[in-house]
């Protein structure tokens, strides 16, 4: 059977997918998306497609990919989605199609155990007792693991300080000169990827590798005829991060630690390096203290009085590089430290000098600062990068279009010639959902907005017996809401940052009367199907924070170019974020629920109509009584 015919029949009743998915039902939108992807793969052209929740977009791209005898990279947004795609979706698709293609899962180097660094730190005298206990747990696990993926080890906390000690970075990896090179888990995973027809990666790894290709350092991922990017709405910001430059306190701290450790393998080097290392550590410690008086992020001009200290940091980095140079050839570790010291010195100099078309900004939290040099335009470097890695690009997400148009997305990435497609959701939103905009709420900037909204929605939360997500546009509003709800209600409150995200979601699904409060990371990538989630409350329209220095620079450049920054930049981004948050409510055909939007600008401002027009076709109700009646009918209470 030809590939186009096999693709067509795969999505029919009794077809390939029906054989591997017991609950499969043909969906016209899924067939249309798969057909468009198949055509673009055949014709070597790009595609940008919004496929609303319920389309079945994963199978819509896996089937045409598997039916072609070509190498393809599939990139998704998170490690969890990577694992789901590789361990569940790909095997189901291959089983249904009766195809066995070599496939591989590849993650970034920080996800793999480095045996050399593990042994080096087990022998380090300065390691504390608690970290040493975690090191021993890692060593015991290392004897049994086959993949070396650190996520396998549950007995060590994900935020343990041991992980940077037993994983590598591009800076400290010894490459083929490493004594553990033949046993390296990362090398093994890369070799498997190079031999596979389908490689599953995440966006961070994809762009890191493409950037390496552009720099001429070789490639981690195999060359591919096509790159399929799921959760593609994340790509512009991911690309911006990987085209950025800069340095961090963590990099400098690691450099001092590794330089000191490298002295142990090179006789006499400690006498040359101890002074420059201690000088650098002293300046770094002072900088960490000074950053406490600054906002958590800001433009370069906000650094003010820190500039003399930054220049001292630069001179200390340069001094360490100078001290390392004559001993660099004594060991591979010292060579690596010399290269890193030189690179960090150059990076700090670039930050201090600035560069046209880039914005200089800083961020810091809990004593860890980062200095960033970020390009305002990623379309040009992305086009140059793609010229080094020619392939057909398929980009899909549930939230890419605004009013059915993609210009805000394609312009940022230089994808002006890509085909475009919008697939509507198959769900029956008018019957499955209700939309409530509580009347007479104060302005979102009013200090009592959060409490006023909560007072309106508490009767709904009680009618739903919890089963609710409360999504906030700021952590300050989230904390205020948690404080108020704890004082005024008896719900089982699950609050972001009080436990890891996966723990909160597990408890939400299993514990009665649960209300989950989340900010940015809970607006997307969270899947709670069924009646466990029946209410989603969004406090305000999700315009980006006004203190974002990169956004400020983009808005300023847009204004200087004669365009309207609110309509061209802020509005499309906020519309897509709202669509993401609203998308948490209905995840499968049998779901039902209520979406509550607590921002009066939806009705008082002319742009509010644009937000409402981009939501699914939900039936709107005017009062809390109608909301409660709907929930009680559906919940049977």
Helix 249-262 with 332-353: angle, nearest 10 deg: 150
CATH for 245-375 is 1.10.275.40
Residue 389 has pLDDT above 80, yes or no: no
Q: How far apart are CA 524 and CA 544, in angstroms?
A: 15
pLDDT at 220: 67
Asked if residues 225 and 72 have their Cβ atoms less than 8 Å apart, the reply is yes
Give the DSSP letter of residue 584: T
Q: Tens digit of pLDDT for each residue in 249-281?
A: 989 998 998 888 888 766 667 888 889 999 999
Give the Cα separation of 242 and 257 in Å (integer): 26
Give the pLDDT of residue 161. Answer: 87
What residues contact residue 314 under an 8 Å CB cut-off, 6+ apart? 345, 348, 349, 352
Q: Please state the rounded mean pLDDT for residues 452-477.
A: 96
Mean pLDDT of the chain: 91
Give the pLDDT confidence score for residue 207 in this predicted structure: 86
Query: pLDDT confidence of 395, banded at 50, 70, 90?
Result: very high
Q: Given a cut of 80, is residue 3 above it in pLDDT?
A: no
Residue 354 banded pLDDT, cuts 50, 70, 90: very high
**DSSP string over 140-156:** HHHTT-SS-BGGG-TTS
Left (φ > 0), alpha (ψ -120 to 50) or beta: where does 513 sit? left
Q: Which CATH architecture has domain 429-635?
A: 3-Layer(aba) Sandwich (3.40)
How would residue 600 be classed by pLDDT, with cut points 50, 70 and 90? Answer: very high
The model's confidence at residue 180, banded by pLDDT at 50, 70 and 90, is very high
Tell me what pLDDT residue 266 has.
Answer: 62
Calpha distance 409→400 (Å, rounded): 7
Using one digit for the tens of pLDDT, what is the confidence trace for 210-235? Answer: 776 655 445 667 778 999 999 999 99
Q: Determine the pLDDT at residue 279.
A: 95
Counting beta carbons within 10 angstroms of the beta carbon of residue 273, is it exposed (0 to 12), middle (13 to 18) or buried (19 or more)? Answer: buried
**377-386, 404-413, 501-510: least confidently modelled range:** 377-386
Q: Which class is domain 3-20+28-102+196-242+378-423?
A: alpha beta
How sure is the predictor about 71, in pLDDT bands with cuts at 50, 70 and 90?
very high
Range with the poorest average pLDDT among 127-136, 391-400, 568-577: 127-136
Q: Is the dihedral of CA 86, 162, 242, 523 positive or negative?
A: positive
Residue 637: predicted pLDDT:
61
Contact criterion met (CB below 8 Å) for 252 and 352? no
Q: How confident is the model at residue 139 (pLDDT cuts 50, 70, 90)?
A: very high
- pLDDT at site 446: 94
Please state the pTM of the whole predicted model.
Answer: 0.90
pLDDT band at 331 (very low <50, low <70, confident <90, very high): confident
Q: Are 12 and 26 in contact (CB under 8 A)?
A: yes
> Average pLDDT of 438-462?
96
Return the percentage of the chain with pLDDT > 70, whole number.
97
Residue 210: closest CA among 226, 223, 192: 223
For residue 423, the SS3 value is strand
pLDDT at residue 422 in the model: 97
Give the C-alpha separation, 249 to 291, whole Å.
Answer: 11
**Of 108, 104, 57, 58, the residue nearest 78 (C-alpha):** 108
Of 32-36, 79-83, 263-267, 458-462, where does mean pLDDT reach its minimum?
263-267
Q: Where are the domains of the chain?
A: 3-20+28-102+196-242+378-423, 109-187, 245-375, 429-635
What is the bridge-based pairing of β-strands 392-397 and 245-248? unpaired
Q: Are strands 358-365 and 368-375 parallel, antiparallel or unpaired?
A: antiparallel
The torsion angles phi and psi of 337, rounded to 5 degrees, stand at: -65, -40
Instruction: Over range 147-155, report the average pLDDT.
Output: 90
pLDDT interval class at 318 (50, 70, 90): very high
Same fold, 3-20+28-102+196-242+378-423 and 429-635: yes
What pLDDT, in 10s, does the model give residues 488-517? 999 999 999 898 888 899 999 999 999 999
Q: Which residues, in sequence order, are CB contacts of 505 under 8 Å at separation 6+?
A: 516, 526, 528
Task: Compute how many other C-beta atoms are within 10 angstroms of the C-beta atom of residue 130.
Answer: 11
- Averaged pLDDT for residues 339-351: 94
pLDDT at 599 over 60: yes
Residues 6+ apart with CB under 8 A from 499: 507
């Amino acid at each position: 059977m030809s590939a186009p015919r096999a693709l067509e029949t795969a999505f029919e009743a009794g077809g390939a997918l029906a054989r591997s998915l017991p609950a499969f039902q043909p969906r016209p939108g899924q067939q249309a998306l798969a057909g468009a992807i198949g055509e673009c793969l055949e014709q070597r052209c790009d595609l940008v497609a919004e496929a609303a929740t319920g389309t079945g977009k994963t199978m819509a791209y896996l089937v045409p990919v598997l039916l072609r005898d070509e190498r393809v990279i599939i990139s998704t947004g998170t490690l969890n989605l990577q694992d789901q795609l590789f361990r569940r979706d790909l095997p189901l698709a291959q089983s249904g199609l009766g195809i066995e293609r070599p496939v591989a899962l590849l993650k970034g180097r920080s996800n793999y155990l480095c045996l050399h660094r593990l042994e080096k730190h087990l022998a380090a005298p300065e390691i504390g007792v608690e970290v040493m206990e975690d090191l021993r747990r890692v060593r015991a696990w290392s004897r049994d693991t086959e993949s070396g993926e650190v996520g396998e080890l549950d007995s060590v906390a994900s935020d343990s300080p041991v992980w940077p000690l037993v994983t590598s970075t591009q800076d400290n990896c010894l490459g083929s000169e490493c004594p553990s090179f033949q046993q390296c888990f990362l090398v093994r995973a890369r070799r498997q990827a190079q031999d596979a027809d389908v490689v599953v990666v995440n966006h961070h790894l994809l762009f890191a590798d493409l950037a390496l290709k552009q720099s001429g350092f070789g490639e981690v991922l195999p060359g591919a005829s096509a790159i399929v990017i799921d959760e593609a709405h994340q790509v512009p910001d991911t690309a911006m991060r990987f085209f950025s430059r800069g340095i961090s306190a963590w990099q400098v701290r690691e450099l001092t630690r590794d330089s000191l450790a490298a002295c142990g393998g090179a006789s006499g080097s400690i006498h040359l390096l101890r002074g420059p290392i201690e000088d650098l550590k002293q300046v770094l410690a002072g900088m960490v203290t000074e950053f406490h008086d600054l906002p958590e992020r800001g433009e370069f001009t906000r650094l003010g009085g820190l500039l003399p200290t930054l220049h001292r940091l630069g001179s200390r980095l340069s001094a360490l590089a100078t001290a390392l140079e004559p001993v660099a050839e004594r060991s591979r570790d010292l060579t690596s430290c010399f290269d890193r010291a030189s690179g960090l010195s150059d990076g700090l100099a670039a930050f201090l000098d600035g560069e046209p078309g880039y914005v200089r900004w800083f961020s810091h939290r809990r004593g860890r600062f980062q200095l960033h040099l970020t390009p305002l335009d990623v379309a040009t470097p992305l086009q140059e990068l793609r010229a080094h890695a020619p392939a057909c690009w398929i980009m899909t997400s549930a939230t890419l279009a605004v009013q059915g148009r993609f210009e805000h997305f394609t312009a940022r990435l230089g994808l002006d010639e890509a085909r475009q497609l919008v697939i509507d959701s198959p769900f029956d939103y008018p019957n499955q959902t209700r939309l409530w905009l509580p009347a007479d709420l104060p302005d979102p900037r009013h200090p009592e907005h959060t409490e006023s909204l909560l007072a309106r929605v508490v009767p709904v939360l009680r009618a739903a017996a919890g089963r609710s997500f409360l999504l906030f546009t700021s952590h300050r509003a989230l904390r205020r809401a948690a404080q108020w709800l704890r004082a005024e209600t008896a719900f089982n409150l699950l609050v972001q940052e009080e436990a890891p995200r996966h723990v909160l979601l597990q408890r939400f699904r299993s514990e009665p009367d649960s209300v989950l409060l989340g900010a940015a990371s809970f607006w997307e990538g969270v899947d709670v199907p069924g009646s466990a989630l029946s209410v989603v409350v969004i406090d305000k329209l999700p315009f980006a924070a006004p203190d974002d220095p990169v956004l400020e620079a983009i808005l300023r450049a847009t204004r200087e170019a004669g365009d309207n920054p609110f309509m061209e930049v802020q509005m499309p981004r906020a519309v897509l974020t709202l669509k993401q948050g609203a998308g948490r409510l209905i995840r499968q055909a049998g779901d039902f629920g209520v979406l509550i939007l607590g921002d009066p600008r939806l009705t008082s401002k002319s742009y509010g109509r644009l937000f409402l027009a981009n939501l699914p076709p939900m039936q709107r109700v005017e009062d809390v009584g109608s909301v409660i009646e709907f929930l009680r009918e559906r919940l049977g209470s």
